[in-house]
Structure 1
Amino acid sequence: MTDERPDEATDPLVSVVVVTYNSERTVGETLSSLADQTYPDDRYEVVVVDGGSTDGTAGLAGDHGAQFHVVEGGTIGACRNRGVDVAAGDFVAFTDSDCAVPSTWLRSHVDRIADADDHIVGVGGPNRPFPSDPPFAKLVGSLQGTVFGSGGSPQSHAIDRVREVRSVACCNVLYDASIFDAYRFDGDINVGEDAEFHFRLSEAGHRFLFDPAIAVSHHLSPTFAAFCEKSRSYGYAMARIQRRHGKVIRWYSALPSLALLGGSVAALDDLGKRRLRNVPLLALSFLLVSGYATRQVYRDRHSGLALLVPLMLAAQYGYYGLGFLEGLLAPDPVPQELP
């Protein structure tokens, strides 16, 4: 630890929670970055909550001196709740087991929230690919920095100023611990648990501060197949969450599914009338959108791989839309009896 401040005794205690599951390959990097904070080492603790790993995750947590708790078979939401339960801090921070945080991470979060208004319950920031990640992962990061790649989601979209937002990503967030006296993550949710939790907070009038300067490194999808699968899982999760609440959580979440259905109807209409009118118009619209995103990605990466952006956008929208439809149509799980 470095850069201890003269008034470090007044610094609030922070509990950092890292949720893991078979994270042996990456969690060591996460915990090493948390051990190298400018925040006083006696004013924060690191808590690892594991969903029942079968690899060497537990040993790595022990090697780094982190508390280790297991929620066997637990969802991400349930593991986050266990972390909150055991946290002793005035603030609770979360990062993921495939992330690395800068040395000023805790200091920046605590300083940012110190003078925040009462309706601010937390601080978050963006996540960026690791410099050592493969070229495709970096391309994913640049695509998510565009409005068409992220849907305007602040944790990915390139926002250049501190602003209030309704939601941030749990791979880079610090909460005022008092918020957990009245709210918890939904323990039944494994993907999108942060979006669902923040939706309930925003409905009650709470907000977050988004600071673009507090960024973490995050291992993004390294392959096209992984990118497609993640898009599908996000779409499925968002549909399930919105079904649960009976409300639209993010206005853009249904657009990919509507585009898939609308495109199919338009193609069938052209086929039935034996003429091409609708499909060329749709193709032109997509080319304009993907061309704009390609230009932004190229300006960021200066790589010919930016030419893959149209294919990536088509896959992202298509798989997200498919997942969303699956989530809307899937039967609700049968409630399990408690012992």
Structure 2
Amino acid sequence: MDVFVSVIVPVFNAHRTLDSCLQSILACDYPRDRFEVIVVDHCSTDDSAQIAGRYPVTVTKKIGGTISSVRNHGASLAQGTVLGFIDSDCIVASDWIREVVKVLQLPDAGAAGSGYLVPERYTWVEKAWLYERGGGIFQTGLVPGGNCALKAEVFHAIGGFDERLTTGEDSDICRRVIGAGYKVIGSGAIRCVHLGNSKTLRQFARKEFWYGIDMVKDLRVTSFDGTFIMTAVFLLSFAFFAVALLLTLATGAQSLLLYSPLAMLAVSAVCSVYRVRRSRKYRYYFHLVVLYFLYFSSRSCAVVSSVLRSLRTA
């Protein structure tokens, strides 16, 4: 008998994408009596709840809380031995459920998923930034929260998504899955198109600032990670640049002024090398250097903003 799967879709003001999302999930080539869809409305002010009500899905509401609490609320109602999480601005392939179940049947697998695919009409920002990793199965440290699945027993054993986190909940839960002795498995066959990518540099900067707000909090409840370390190096380089600029204005000496911009550029260049090696989008290398410079600038501003806010609160 096929494994019973619960697909949980958190929703907030998803009028433009929810129809496509639910239609793609319900069209999966998996026995219809062996999966359920749970839509969790996070206090939408548009007609998202009404749209979901047109489909053979369970619709529930979660008032307040973080995206983690919304996903956990859906999981608390789920009957499946596999919990799938799809964001409302995503469209899954017809074999999505079947591929997720296949991967989670591998030895020691606790979570499965893959990076997002770009839509048919895309901008260079989303094409360069998204991994779109194809190919077979690989062990990884992260699958995005909007395109992932976990064994229900593993999910509940580790306490689900951390509701203290506003962002970074997907990397956090993957670390805890691995810490509990299970594997996080990626697969190019778990295909999911993300419609909500940042399409312009401005959107990209704003989104990365938002993602960076909880980086310090994430460190308190988990551990150091590469993203924070590189952000810290970039931030220290920027601080050094500010000091060097003040010294230049005060003394006229310009010898120190060159090094910090080079350090910031080096961080962006090194991360771009790492990313193109994984995504194999070599022709987008210099695009990625620009994006990473903006990425670390936004994340640095978010970290500073978060620390200052914590100090004011204290």
- TM-score class, shorter-chain normalisation, is 0.7 to 0.9
Residue 216 of structure 1 pairs with residue 192 of structure 2:
yes
Aligned equivalent of 1:152: none
- Contact 1:20-1:49 within 8 A present in 2 as well: yes
**TM-score, normalized by length of structure 1?**
0.79
Is there any run of 5+ residues in structure 1 with no aligned partner, and where?
A: 1-9, 146-155, 335-339
Aligned equivalent of 1:166: 141
Aligned equivalent of 2:21: 30
Going from structure 1 to structure 2, the CA distance change for 1:333 and 1:51 (only over 3 Å counts) comes to farther
Per the alignment, in what secondary structure is the counterpart of residue 17 of structure 1? strand
Aligned equivalent of 1:226: 203
For residues 310-336 of structure 1, the C-alpha deviation after alignment (integer angstroms, 9 at most, x for no partner) is 4433221101111123234432898xx
- Contact 1:62-1:68 within 8 A present in 2 as well: yes
Aligned equivalent of 2:107: 117
Aligned equivalent of 1:326: 305
**Of 194-203 and 172-181, the range deviating more from structure 2:** 194-203
1:161: Cα distance to partner? 4.6
1:285: Cα distance to partner? 5.4
Aligned equivalent of 1:337: none
Matches of 1:186 and 1:22, distance apart in 2: 23
- Contact 2:10-2:71 within 8 A present in 1 as well: yes
Aligned equivalent of 1:201: 177
Aligned equivalent of 1:178: 153
1:309: Cα distance to partner? 4.6
Going from structure 1 to structure 2, the CA distance change for 1:241 and 1:267 (only over 3 Å counts) comes to closer
1:103 to 88, 94, 97: 94
Matches of 2:8 and 2:264, distance apart in 1: 41
Matches of 2:80 and 2:51, distance apart in 1: 23
Going from structure 1 to structure 2, the CA distance change for 1:332 and 1:217 (only over 3 Å counts) comes to farther
Matches of 2:169 and 2:112, distance apart in 1: 17
- Contact 1:166-1:206 within 8 A present in 2 as well: no
Per the alignment, in what secondary structure is the counterpart of residue 128 of structure 1? coil
Aligned equivalent of 1:18: 9
Aligned equivalent of 2:229: 254
Matches of 1:142 and 1:218, distance apart in 2: 14
Going from structure 1 to structure 2, the CA distance change for 1:286 and 1:181 (only over 3 Å counts) comes to closer
**Of 192-201 and 61-70, the range deviating more from structure 2:** 192-201
Aligned CA-pair RMSD: 2.9
Is there any run of 5+ residues in structure 2 with no aligned partner, and where?
A: none
**TM-score, normalized by length of structure 2?**
0.85
- Identity, in percent, stands at 26
Aligned equivalent of 2:67: 76
- Contact 1:257-1:322 within 8 A present in 2 as well: no
Aligned equivalent of 1:126: 115
Aligned equivalent of 1:317: 296
- Contact 1:122-1:174 within 8 A present in 2 as well: yes
**Of 183-192 and 307-316, the range deviating more from structure 2:** 307-316
Q: Quick one: which amino acid aligns to residue 300 of structure 2? A: G
For 1:122-161, list aligned pairs within 5 A: 122-133=111-122, 135=123, 138-145=124-131, 158=133, 160-161=135-136
Aligned equivalent of 1:41: 32
Matches of 1:326 and 1:287, distance apart in 2: 22
- Contact 2:125-2:198 within 8 A present in 1 as well: no
How many residue pairs align between the two structures?
304
Aligned equivalent of 2:252: 274
- Contact 1:99-1:216 within 8 A present in 2 as well: yes
Matches of 1:49 and 1:253, distance apart in 2: 31
- Contact 2:110-2:151 within 8 A present in 1 as well: yes
Per the alignment, in what secondary structure is the counterpart of residue 205 of structure 1? coil
